Amino acid sequence: MEKPLSKNIDPGKEPLDLKGYESTGGYQAVRKALLELEPKQVTELVKQSNLRGRGGAGFPTGIKWSFVPMAEGKPDPEKLAETLEEVDLGTRLERGGAGMAVGPKWRFAPYIDDVPYPKYLIANADEMEPGTFKDRYLLEGDPHQVVESMIVSAYAIQASVGYIFLRWAYHEAARRLRKAIQSAYQAGYLGKDILGSGYDFDLYLHTGAGRYMAGEETGLLNSLEGKRANPRTKPPFPQTSGLWGKPSIVNNVETLCNVPHIINKGPEWFKGLSLTEDSGTKIYGVSGKVNRPGVWELPMGTTLRELIEEHAGGMQNGLKFRGALPGGASTDFLIEEHLDICMDFPSVQAAGSRLGTGTIIVLDDQTCPVGFVHNLEVFFARESCGWCTPCREGLPWSVDLLRAIEDGEGQPGDLEILDELTKNLGPGLTFCALAPGAMEPLQSALKYFREDFERHINEGKCTWR
Amino acid sequence: MLSDEERQELEKEIEHYEFKRAACIEGLKILQQYRGGWVSDESIKDLADFLEMSPEQVDNVATFYNLIFRKPVGKNVILLCDSISCWLMGCETIQEYFKERLGIGLGETSADGQFTLLPMACLGACERAPAIMIGEQLYHNLTPEKLNLILDQLKASQVKESASGEIDGKTAQ
């Protein structure tokens, strides 16, 4: 079984350095893309591979990229150099008249070939979805793979600047990425005229300062601009108007890491990795009271049962499987009858949930489902940015009700109010996906574990305590 | 007033962005690190001057992010992961442990000023739950016994540090 994403990863050891990474075929995709392929061909290969976003939404990556405005053919380095102005910080002001000073020696031009300049590629490494620990594995385990994936993907959309937006808590990943970026610059894979291709790309590591919202696509853009991580209205979409109003692509780390392999081995190979019609491998994880919690790279479409019973070693002694969130805190519960579903985007959706991040959180029969959901809603209420009313007001309300029920103070009618909240905070009624995501485990818990909620209210106590 | 070191780090940081104010969050982190682990009103003003923003704009950002502290904190900030996987594996026991050993609940600082305990969203160590972070160090698969050892070691190493600081001080005199 091929494991392209994790073949170099040996947890507990330092990751491969530049030489080690090159010796396993690393940076070949940069050579191939920049020296042999046109940007649009790279996008085309990714489109054909049917790679879907691994951050949770599952949007096809190639299609996402194809919305970025592109000039015809390869960029002309001479023309680029002619058009670009190097501007010094403090000596002049931005042309728009907002009075904001521009960065020191920032290379500036509003348009090149009628296409906005610069364009940006951002790796979303702000992994903060509760129960999710897969990107950490890739970031710490093979930082050069992350760097290479950014160069190839940036070339496809002709981005000239890239950021890895890393959550603050991943200090080890930060240290390893800094080192990898530095050695990639020294080897000429980053910076000006990469490998003599005429393509320039600068890559920076940006570390956050907390808040789940900083991982939401448009919240991330605001945070990167140094603002509060509130979401933005869409449209305009980031592909046309993102960071500082310029075309920008935000991709999850695992999504990006697939790209060099697709370029090296082709879309058909990538499709063949999977057990189902969704392509590639997936970094799955399992946490909760199982014997061997962990992460594994497996073919896309591996069943929930295989993940829990084989890879995670089954439930801990004396415990039974009761349910699971298949892809992080903001996905609907699956229960025993779903154990044999394939963990890919369409199959999990058909079962009423989402593949999300593919990291499974297991609920056992000795844990109170009301307490479980209460913990989730406390998280979501705390992390709401307060930008829109349903989320800001609705989430704390759900927490109050769940706490009362858990403490034996629930009233008849509380469940109906919770039912109503799951609708009023649902998709389309809020600025971003935080509140609708928060409602997914709640609505499915009310469906599958309703008798537990009712018993709490009828008996006036939590029967697990 | 920014110190030379602070200014240097800030100037390096703004090179990464098209606009200066993008370094606001990083700037807050830099000042927090240099100035006792938290961000005072004076720090807000210093950073605002440097970034050509108003203090209100900087404070607006500072109060949003949970790892920028606008109040003094203990020497060691303990971030207790209370998200779902750690909850399943007993983070409430860990929280009770801190109450017993250090006498602090969430949001509180120990009487000796050594420790502040704060809740933290998922640390991404779900397969090794329960987990906490002290400084930049992640501690996982925690039990009260293991925590006893960690805190003892931390106290011992810091007593040693401050003792050697004193000796240095005396030599300097």
> Do residues A7 and A144 make contact, with C-beta atoms less than 8 angstroms apart?
no
**Helices (DSSP H) in A325-413: which residue ranges?**
345-350, 369-383, 389-406
Amino acid B163: pLDDT: 67
- Domain A281-364 CATH assignment equals 3.10.20.600: yes
Q: Which residues pair with A52 in a beta bridge?
A: A60
Amino acid A93: pLDDT: 41
A118 preceded by cis ω (within 30°)?
yes
B38, B83, B137: which to substitute to probe chain A, counting the most A Cβ within 10 Å? B83
**Of the candidate ranges A65-69, A103-107, A304-308, A394-398, the one whose mean pLDDT is the lowest:** A103-107
Mean pLDDT of A204-215: 96
Query: Which CATH number does A18-71+114-272 carry?
Result: 3.40.50.11540
At A168, list the tokens.
């603050």
Q: Which residues pair with A195 in a beta bridge?
A: none
A225 and B22: CB-CB below 8 Å? yes
Architecture field, domain A369-459 = Up-down Bundle (1.20)
Checking if the pLDDT of A170 tops 70, the result is: yes
Mean pLDDT of B132-160: 92
- Burial category of A48 from C-beta neighbours within 10 Å (exposed 0-12, middle 13-18, buried 19 and up): middle
Amino acid A94: pLDDT: 43
Please tell me which residue of chain A has the smallest CA distance to B57.
A227
User: Which residue intervals of chain A bear CATH 1.20.1440.230?
Assistant: 369-459
B79 and A169: CB-CB below 8 Å? yes
In 3D space, the residue among A396, A395, A383 whose CA is nearest the CA of residue A228 turns out to be A383
Going by pLDDT thresholds of 50, 70 and 90, the confidence category of residue A102 is very low
Amino acid A78: pLDDT: 73
Q: Which residue has the tokens 């073919």?
A: A299
Alpha carbons A367 and A374: distance in angstroms, whole number: 12
Between residues A239 and B19, which one has the greater pLDDT?
A239
At A184, list the tokens.
């990639």
- Under DSSP, is residue A78 helix (H, G, I), strand (E, B) or coil? helix
Mean pLDDT of chain A: 93
- Tell me the pLDDT tens digit for each residue of A365-388: 999 999 999 999 999 999 999 999
Q: How many CA atoms lie within 13 A of A42 on its CB side?
A: 31
Mean pLDDT of A181-194: 97
Checking if the pLDDT of B33 tops 50, the result is: yes
Amino acid A109: pLDDT: 73
Query: Which segments of chain B are extended strands (E)?
Result: 76-81, 115-120, 132-134, 137-139
- Tell me the pLDDT tens digit for each residue of A428-449: 999 999 999 999 999 999 999 9
What percent of chain A lies above the pLDDT cut of 90? Answer: 89
Mean pLDDT of A236-246: 96
A221, A379, A462: which to substitute to probe chain B, counting the most B Cβ within 10 Å? A379
**Smallest Cα distance from B24 to chain A, Å:** 5
**Of the candidate ranges A411-420, B18-27, B73-82, B152-161, the one whose mean pLDDT is the lowest:** B152-161
**Smallest Cα distance from A4 to chain B, Å:** 22
CA distances from A188 to A18, A403, B84 (A): 12, 56, 43
Checking if the pLDDT of A12 tops 90, the result is: no
Alpha carbons B70 and B55: distance in angstroms, whole number: 13
- Burial category of B116 from C-beta neighbours within 10 Å (exposed 0-12, middle 13-18, buried 19 and up): buried
Amino acid A364: pLDDT: 98
Amino acid B51: pLDDT: 96
Amino acid A86: pLDDT: 65
Checking if the pLDDT of A99 tops 60, the result is: no
Between residues A102 and A112, which one has the greater pLDDT?
A112
Residue A81: CB partners within 8 Å, gap ≥ 6?
A: none
Amino acid A465: pLDDT: 82
- Residue-by-residue DSSP string for A110-140: SEETTEES--EEEEEE---STT--HHHHHHH
At A114, list the tokens.
């009628």
Going by pLDDT thresholds of 50, 70 and 90, the confidence category of residue A84 is confident
SS3 content of chain A, % helix, strand, coil (to 5): 45, 15, 40
Amino acid B170: pLDDT: 38
Q: Does A440 touch chain B (CB under 8 A)?
A: no
Mean pLDDT of A393-418: 97
A105 and B89: CB-CB below 8 Å? no
Amino acid A426: pLDDT: 95
Going by pLDDT thresholds of 50, 70 and 90, the confidence category of residue B160 is confident
**Smallest Cα distance from A201 to chain B, Å:** 13
Amino acid A88: pLDDT: 53
- Type of residue at A376: L
Please tell me which residue of chain B has the smallest CA distance to A102.
B19
Q: Which residue has the tokens 């930082």?
A: A143
Checking if the pLDDT of A90 tops 70, the result is: no
What percent of chain A lies above the pLDDT cut of 70? Answer: 94
Checking if the pLDDT of A53 tops 50, the result is: yes
B14 and A385: CB-CB below 8 Å? no
Q: Enumerate the residues of chain A whose CB falls inside 8 A of the CB of residue B89.
A: 288-289
Going by pLDDT thresholds of 50, 70 and 90, the confidence category of residue B166 is very low
In chain B the domains, ranked by start, together with CATH numbers, are 4-62 (1.10.10), 76-172 (3.40.30.10)
Q: Does A225 touch chain B (CB under 8 A)?
A: yes
Q: Which helix (H) or strand (E) holds A204?
A: strand A202-207
Amino acid A103: pLDDT: 43
Please tell me which residue of chain A has the smallest CA distance to B80.
A169
Going by pLDDT thresholds of 50, 70 and 90, the confidence category of residue A101 is very low
Amino acid A341: pLDDT: 97
Q: ipTM of the predicted structure?
A: 0.92
